[in-house]
Amino acid sequence: MADKKKMSVAEILAAARAADGKGEQAPAASPSAADSEVAPPPTPKPAAKAAAPAAAGGRPSVADILAAARANKGAAAAEVEPKSAAPKPAAAVKPAAAPAKVAAKPGPSEAGRKGVERDTASILAAARAAAKPGPVSKAEAPSRPVAKPKPAAEKVVAARPVPPRPARPAQPAKAKADDEDRRGFLQIATGSFLAMGFTALSITGGLFSLGLARFFFPNVLAEPPSRFKVGFREGFPSGKVETKFVAQYGVWVVNGDFQGEQQIYALKTVCTHLGCTPSWLEAEQKFKCPCHGSGFYKDGVNFEGPAPRPLERYAIRIADDGQLEVDKSRTFQEELGQWADPASYVTV
Ligand code: FES
């Protein structure tokens, strides 16, 4: 391989022309060209077809162009990349295709063709030299700048300067006084409500206590004494009905005649029909009940109306002091013959 790489351009051209002359046999006749990695077996077909018109018309053949390009590539690679002396097969094939198209155009002479070759080689060399190799590994790749984490929105907000709070305007004196009055009114109103509540509670408690105490003291009917004095007998003239004791004691004191005997007796002011209080009618000389119209004589005997029986008498006597004393604890009924009892009357 070292011998193949050291072949000059002239030798390569000669080998190519020899191959053109032999057609398809050219790669086999030149073992160096056949073994070379630069000219693989599939590619010689188009090269041979292009080389035939070049030999006839003076145009450079495809093989020439390829050979020249490979030679220049080798030289350029030696200049640019001395370490990688061995050309890669793929890189050798690709650049050869473009010049083939260019070389297919008619034109140049041998010198011009060499100029073109030189230009092409120089252009390729310059392009390869100027080409910036890309990163071949992750380690060789330039490190990306690490993006700084953005500060959180809260931090930004917290870092924001807080504007100073505006000063509260001074309260005018009148407004201040009104405010104090309002507060005083509220305090008084609140106190009043509390006082009213406690007062109502106290009143309720007091009334409850009174009711409880009243429960322990039952009703007592305050009645007048059953025995009372009505005065001296001279104070009751004959045929007189005294009504001044009706309201207080419920008693008529009568000085009248009963069965031919003048007596002073005390009549009970209760109608024997249903208990109403009759009235003494001086003009008619009778007791008249307002409820149902019962009528009683002066001696108490019923004579009209629904009353079934005469009025009742209370016990009466002359007390130690000479006054007439009525005892309401004892009653006497005429229908029972009790009026004949001397305790039911006082003889005048
Ligand atoms: Fe006196 Fe009926 S109550 S008549």
Distance from the CA of 310 to the center of ligand 1, in angstroms?
A: 12
Count the Cβ atoms, other than its own, within 10 Å of residue 255: 20
Q: Average pLDDT by consecutive 10-residue portion of the chain (348 residues)?
A: 58 75 45 42 43 49 78 60 45 44 48 59 79 59 66 64 82 81 86 90 94 84 84 92 93 93 95 95 95 95 95 95 94 94 93
- Rg, C-alpha atoms of the chain: 81
Ligand 1 geometric centre to CA of 300 (Å):
14
pLDDT of residue 112: 52
Q: Is the CB of 108 under 6 A from ligand 1?
A: no
User: Residue 151 has what pLDDT?
Assistant: 63
- Distance (angstroms) between ligand 1 centre and the Cα of 46 equals 164
Tell me the CA–centroid distance for residue 206 and ligand 1, in Å.
46
CA 129 to ligand 1 center in whole angstroms: 156
Residues 6+ apart with CB under 8 A from 325: 227, 228, 229, 230, 316, 317, 318, 319
Q: What's the distance, Cα to Cα, between the start and end of the chain in Å?
A: 193
Is 0.85 surpassed by the pTM of this model?
Answer: no
Residue 111 has a pLDDT of: 52
- 102 alpha carbon to ligand 1 midpoint, in Å? 162
Q: Which atom of ligand 1 is nearest to the CA of 271?
A: 1
- Give the number of other CB atoms < 10 A from CB of residue 200: 10
For residue 158, what pLDDT is reported? 65
Structure tokens at 64: 């020439």
Give the distance from CA 180 to its chain's centroid: 37
**pLDDT for position 83:** 46
d(CA 300, CA 313): 9
pLDDT at residue number 222: 73
Q: What pLDDT is stored for residue 280 in this prediction?
A: 95
Query: Which atom of ligand 1 lies nearest, measured to the CA of 278?
Result: 1
295 touches ligand 1 (CB under 6 Å): no
Atom of ligand 1 nearest to the CA of 290: 1
Distance 242 CA to ligand 1 centre (A): 22
Distance (Å, whole) CA 337 – CA 40: 179
Identify the pLDDT of residue 221: 73
- Give 299's DSSP letter: T
Angle between helical axes of 62-80 and 44-57 (0-180°, round to 10): 110
304 lines ligand 1 (CB under 6 A): no
What sign results for the dihedral spanned by CA atoms 80, 83, 84, 85?
positive
9 Cβ below 6 A of ligand 1: no
Q: Which of 270, 276, 288 to mutate to test the pocket of ligand 1 (most atoms within 8 A of CB)?
A: 276
Token pair for residue 2? Answer: 């070292």
Q: Say how far apart CA 238 and CA 262 lie, in whole Å.
A: 8
Report the alpha-carbon distance of residue 262 to residue 342 in Å, rounded.
13
Dist CA 143 CA 106 (whole Å):
51
Q: How many CA atoms lie within 13 A of 230 on its CB side?
A: 34
* CA 103 to each of CA 51, 58, 134: distance values in angstroms, whole numbers, following the listed order: 10, 12, 31
